Amino acid sequence: MDKLTLTQPDDWHLHVRNGSVLKTVIAHTANQFARAIIMPNLKPPITKVNEALNYRSEILQALPVGTSFNPLMTLYLTAKTTVNEVKKVANSEYVHAFKLYPAGATTNSDAGVNELKSIYPILEAMQQVDVPLLIHGEVSDNACDIFDREKVFIESSLANIVKTFPKLRIVVEHVTTKEAVDFVLSASDKVAATITPQHLMFNRNAILAGGIRPHHYCLPIIKREHHRLALIKAAISGNPKFFLGTDSAPHLTSAKENSCGCAGCYSAYAALELYAEVFEKENALDKLEGFASFFGADFYQLPRNKKTVTLQRQAWTVPASYPIDNETITPLKANENLSWKL
């Protein structure tokens, strides 16, 4: 097969930042995807509907002229989130969900939630008006081994949230473990998960392959091979609980190649190509369209896209970097070859 035509996909988990980074990365995403769920972890975080609307306008203004792309906004849950804000989200055409970061779990999560039970009244309100909850599923306890933080979060927090709010739609974002896959499989159809390209492509050896590889460092951190295999199985299963969310998270090269490098992989430049590589290796290209173009839209109760995109089999080399002002962003798989091109 040398050509693959799919319904245009959407990215159900994306960081686009603001300012000059936004300008570069949004063009990459809009070139591939019709819509994307935009993460609210800016500095300061997007916690109110009016802030999300301003951020949305900034994103639309940053698009290359003539591009059509629909940013689906989210709000950052904090201890100060009110039931009134939940109602505003329910009535908003542009804001689609709340994102829960346990405080300290990842980049710009300081404003996140310390005591999850304290926001249960907000989750109750979200359940009532059917606004989805998107979860960064890791405990932020530094005493917990970094490779166990997702599993421990599921046992210590997520299981209780799901049990207490059985009608709340929940996306367990960027699942990285077999435990997370099994948890999502065992839950009702209200619980789904996104899977990133890096967690499908790599196991944890990729972070320490002949030296420290900062561009493979993201959170939740990439796990052992048997976890990767469980993610692959979920992604290619055709089960609508699992769908595409790149978690493309650009940081300047100088912030990644640093004595304390930031977490995040930049994949938006060729997201669909990266997933296509994975699905092809598994002989499952026929399962890519459901994962990339149907299941997320269905879960978010949005219409499936009408347009199509075509991937061509074509070898090309990923650039070493993309320029941003006087700096650069280094993409995932920089200088390596990919075999599909949109």
Binding site for ligand DOR (CB under 6 A): 15, 41, 106-107, 136, 218-219, 249, 263-264
- The identity of residue 172, as a single letter, is V
Near Zn ion by CB under 5 A: residue from 85, 150, 179, 247: 247
**Alpha-carbon distances, residue 277 vs 200, 226, 273, 285 (angstroms):** 10, 19, 6, 9
| Contact criterion met (CB below 8 Å) for 30 and 64 | yes
Nearer to ligand DOR, 7 or 107 (CB): 107
Binding segment toward Zn ion, per CB under 5 A, in 49-57, 72-80, 194-202, 239-247: 239-247
Nearer to Zn ion, 150 or 247 (CB): 247
What is the smallest separation between the CB atom of 77 and ligand DOR, expressed in angstroms?
14
**Alpha-carbon distances, residue 222 vs 113, 147, 226 (angstroms):** 24, 8, 11
Among 189, 247, 286, 325, the active-site one is 247
Contacts of 315 (CB under 8 A, 6+ apart): 337, 338, 339
Residue 11 bears catalytic tag = no
Rounded-to-integer distance, Cα 161 and Cα 47, Å:
21
Contact of residue 218 among Zn ion, ligand DOR, none (CB under 5-8 Å per partner type): ligand DOR
Contact of residue 293 among ligand DOR, Zn ion, none (CB under 5-8 Å per partner type): none
DSSP conformation class of 286: G
Nearer to ligand DOR, 51 or 247 (CB): 247
Contact of residue 219 among ligand DOR, Zn ion, none (CB under 5-8 Å per partner type): ligand DOR
DSSP 79-104: TT--HHHHHHHHT-SSEEEEEE-BTT
What is the smallest separation between the CB atom of 34 and ligand DOR, expressed in angstroms?
23
Nearer to ligand DOR, 8 or 108 (CB): 108
Q: Which of 66, 125, 67, 71 is nearest to 95 (CA)?
A: 71
Please give the residue ranges that form the binding site for Zn ion (CB under 5 A): 247
Catalytic machinery residues: 247
